[in-house]
Amino acid sequence: MGKALIIGAGGVAGVAIHKCCQYSEVFEEIMIASRTKAKCDAFAEKLAGTTKTKIRTAKVDANNVDELIALIEEFKPDVVLNLALPYQDLTIMDACLATRTHYVDTANYEPEDTAKFEYSWQWAYRERFEQAGICAVLGSGFDPGVTGVFSAYALKHQFDEINYIDILDCNGGDHGYPFATNFNPEINIREVTANGSYWEDGHWVETAPMEIKREYDFKGVGPKDMYLLHHEELESLGLNIPGIKRIRFFMTFGQSYLTHLRCLQNVGMTSIEPIAFEGKQIVPLQFLKAVLPDPASLGPRTVGKTNIGCIFQGKKDGKDKTYYLYNICDHQECYREVGSQAISYTTGVPAMIGAALVITGKWCKPGVYNVEEFDPDPFMELLNKFGLPWHEDFNPVLVD
């Protein structure tokens, strides 16, 4: 049916590539293009003979718009699936505009020299995408991504009005290292060392990093400490869910992770300010990334489950209602299926689904959209089909 250009060949891309190859009716051909071509070739070799999807590979520097345009013009994909880093979002969107090609990503733009992420930079492309007649789907991972689709689904099928959303992201996995991150360490550490915040009554309430802590007993995992973080979907859901009064995002962290993070922060290793080292400028956080385990290597050693979902409170037929939608994912099952741990899996599957819905035309309208602005039903159906089944609880324990 269609062709996708996948940019990036890391943990998330690896899963998305496997999943595109399981959905050959839609993904007749894919091209995997990244900075290190050997990684693209390794995926192509691994999947050869297991799928009807034709796979090509290429080297590309996604910071370079001209290189991207040349690659898109040569391959002529229906959609570009951006699974590189948030730093490349705008250059890839520029190349999509120049070639009139649809765009999907999983994380919003973040300038490399400022630890700040927000949608304003990408929302600024709305008019140009509309005029070019192409569609951009922003944030089609799990969170953001499935959390937005869950919100749209809850609003469509369970509520007349949603007033409160708590997004709970629990990783009960254990990789056996004292300290490692489950996705790109640089992006992960920038996110968790930033101030926390939540959306309440139309404005942001800011907190110190890890200031707000709660304990929650997660199905399939057990009780865990979780901490309030700022997260990008709060920004779009605050605008797109009518009647919303408060949205918070909590993520679980173990004590070992937090203790190591505190030490690394205290000695300056998480800083993104360049420093002079042996005659060179280096960024401490980028050096730290180089010595930490590669998230793509955690697959074989991670055991346990993730549980990620949203607790909704609102009104239906004039009565108060609560509703919890969540997915439980087992690290080892993911590894057996696609050779990755569950964090890459829970992001790579929705990334593939977003691209598939654009190719099939179910989610394709000119402009720039967050996932909750589309019909959630086809996405929810494909989650069940491609390994992320969801569960409902009509009487969940609430977070105070």
Shortest Å, Cβ 285 to ligand NDP: 13
Kindly tell me which of 194 and 205 has the beta carbon lying closer to ligand NDP. 194
Interface with ligand NDP in residues 289-308 (CB under 6 A): 295-296
Nearest to 18 by CA among 54, 43, 52, 49: 43
* CA distance linking residue 56 with residue 76, whole number of Å: 12
Buried b (16+ CB within 10 A) or exposed e, 260-273: ebeebeeeeebbbe
Token pair listed for 272: 């993104």
Site for ligand NDP contains 354 (CB under 6 A): no
**Close Cβ partners of 291 (under 8 Å, ≥ 6 residues apart):** none
Q: Which residue has the tokens 């409902």?
A: 392
Site for ligand NDP contains 240 (CB under 6 A): no
Shortest Å, Cβ 193 to ligand NDP: 15
> In the set 77, 347, 371, 387, which binds ligand NDP (CB under 6 A)?
347
Interface with ligand NDP in residues 316-345 (CB under 6 A): none
Kindly tell me which of 13 and 352 has the beta carbon lying closer to ligand NDP. 13
**Close Cβ partners of 170 (under 8 Å, ≥ 6 residues apart):** 216, 218, 221, 224, 226, 251, 252, 306, 307, 308
Site for ligand NDP contains 234 (CB under 6 A): no
- Segment contacting ligand NDP by CB under 6 A, of 80-88, 122-130, 160-168, 383-391: 80-88
Give me the half-sphere count of Cα atoms (radius 13 Å) on the Cβ side of residue 67: 13
- Segment contacting ligand NDP by CB under 6 A, of 135-143, 244-252, 367-375, 389-397: 135-143
**Contact pattern for ligand NDP over residues 140 through 159, marking x by CB under 6 A:** -xxxxx--------------
Kindly tell me which of 36 and 286 has the beta carbon lying closer to ligand NDP. 36
Q: Which residue has the tokens 């927000």?
A: 118
> In the set 2, 6, 23, 86, which binds ligand NDP (CB under 6 A)?
86
> In the set 153, 183, 199, 374, which binds ligand NDP (CB under 6 A)?
183
* CA distance linking residue 288 with residue 270, whole number of Å: 7
Judge contact between 391 and 326, C-beta under 8 A.
Answer: yes
> In the set 51, 63, 207, 265, which binds ligand NDP (CB under 6 A)?
63
Judge contact between 77 and 65, C-beta under 8 A.
Answer: no
Positions touching ligand NDP (CB under 6 A) are 8-13, 34-36, 39, 60-63, 83-86, 88, 106-107, 141-145, 183-184, 187, 295-296, 347
